[in-house]
Structure 1
Amino acid sequence: MNSRRNFLQKITASALAWPLLSSATQASSINAYNRTYQSQPLRVAIMGLGSYGTRVAEAMQTCKMAKLTGVISGTPSKIKDWQSKYNIPEKNCYNYENFDRIKDNPDIDAVYIITPNALHHPQTLRVAKAGKHVICEKPMAINAKEGKEMVDACKNAKVHLLIGYRMHFEPKTLEIVRMRKAGEMGKILFFEGLSGFKIGDPNQWRLNPKLSGGGAMMDIGIYSINGARYMIGEDPIWVTAQETKNNREKFKDGIDETIQFQLGFPSGAVASCLSTYSMNNLDSFFLNGDNGYAKLQPATGYGPIQGRTHKGELTQPHVTHQTLQMDEMAAIILQGKKPEVPVNGEEGVKDMQIIDAIFQAVKTGKKVDLKV
């Protein structure tokens, strides 16, 4: 298995699709997908034409409010392939040296950055300077300092900065958030997040600390960090963490193999999470309150997500995550829509602050206080 992308695809490939409900309530949860959009769509250039960039491009073919209109890549052959496949004109194609020219291209409103983590910061600053909206894949940067600089740059340029949190639009996930907000689980006490897979190719960029900024925590552990926050509905105030490294040849300095971490929240709720590059079949969330619970497994794969609560199975319909994400993000940018769970740059910075604190806790062996 070569990457998190493959893991997320395979872990849900064998999942049985759950019954689709046709009620108005279910339909409204994917309203952006179903509605016919009459105005000019959000015109998007994808930067980074790898496996996930390809997945996003394919998903955008059925979007109602977002349209793929440009590409940015360092590989000329990929650009040619995408031009042919997605009917992208030559004038909307750029490489990493000249993409600042998008400033003068009215066919591009936003750029979705899907490149190695360490490139997100400089590329976001350049896109913002060009006056285009930024959608940045997670993690948004390699530390909170860079993330804050990205937020500031986009604010100064008066453009949106959105982070690729596709689970923030996923119907079953949002149903659990709704139940928690409505008090249907009572006081929230505990969250468990398990995020991991066995990573393959030892030469890939994810195992290069200069490009990734870290190992499993940056790549897959961030799902449990982010999930703990939107499931509990609070930001943590402390963290403790322990690292296990069994393969130091593959997981060199700066690349975490396995980290167990614990989060404490203002209400007294706690979270226990695991992030790993050395174990398969880890993709689950569990939320426990004094009056009920919710369980997702798979929790963050490409779908269909499966889950249940104390009230029974979750049966919200599955829609391709990236299709829903891009339509909803278009609505945020074009219409000022407020998502149930935020996806702005500030949310990305909070996750980076927590990751910074986890690494500090691993290094020091001490509890680290947080203020995010």
Structure 2
Amino acid sequence: MTAIDDEPTTPDLDAAEGFLRMFHIAHPETGPVGPRLTQVRDEIAETGTYRHTTQELSYGARVALRDSGWCTSGVPWRRLKVRDLRGFRNAAAVAGECVEHLRLATNGGGIRPLVTVFAPDAPDAPGPVIWNEQLVRYACHADGTGDRRYRGFTDTVRGMGWHAPGTPTPFDLLPLVVETAHEGPKLFTIPPDVVHEVCLEHPDLPWFASLGLRWHAVPLITGMRLSIGGVDYPAAPFNTWFVGSEIGTRSLADENACGAARPVAEALGLDTSAERSLWRDRAVVELNRAVLHSFDLAQVTITDHHAESLHRLSWLRSRQRPTGNRPAFRLDPTAARRARAGGPARFSGGPLETTRPHSPGRLAELLRRHAEG
């Protein structure tokens, strides 16, 4: 991924022109590019930025996802649904629509790839940012229970007023943190009933289910920004579906994440006293088998790493080399630190405000009002 600054900038005319020419080549029915270029140059000269048409936005988001490497095999990128919510700048509205995105994407297990685009950065009005790396992530508690990748994030949101509901477990949902220039960082509790989780069992090991392992169904990535023709959209959540090894190997097995490889190995009766016994490798294989088996049993879309490897090789052979003119999803270092450590804030240089997280009912009310409007 290309690192970029975390501050709004004026769109580069070359980037805007390069994208618009690319768009008009792909959509000849829109007519010659010249009048549109003149319009965009005038708009940038007057306001410091320009607004994509709905068709330009959809095309740019689809190409960005296709070329990013995040587009898993089988995703029909040309028909990918793009939700144009560029009018949303307030934290509560952004949070509510992230939850709605998750609901739509889950689709009863038949995962539906989506992109939701919120307000862009403009010279006088920077867009909102989402701190979380993915919408659904699990907390890490003081005793190390949970996902250790998010120990710092958990500590930060706890200091902002979040508390795990009831007795801490390894799979407590972290709150969503949305930050805006006019509101600062705000916490939102994700409604548990919108998070579809798959309880893991093994095709050959009856005892495996007693480990109590589970994982959420949709990898809704929220920490990357979408760049199209020189315009940056700092909050543009997108999802495809999981590759099994992302769950089994990277999230569950890894000692720096959930650390489930050792309990599985011990239950298998393996010698865990030395790495040379390869106990970890054998445990990871069984974890990955359990993930694929359980998702298939629950009829939740997933792919395996062998199929995905073939897809990635094909993608590497055919993909366009990234340039400043091509749409892209990008992750900057500051956003990466926010996703793991819970800071630094984008707009506030001072201590984070302690706040009471918005309840799941508040998000449900926002969604109800939006649907009625």
Bigger RCO (CA 8 Å, 6+ sep)? 2
Structure (1/2) with the larger strand percentage: 1
TM-score band w.r.t. shorter chain: under 0.3
> Max radius of gyration: which structure?
2
Q: TM-score, normalised by structure 1?
A: 0.27
Q: TM-score, normalised by structure 2?
A: 0.27
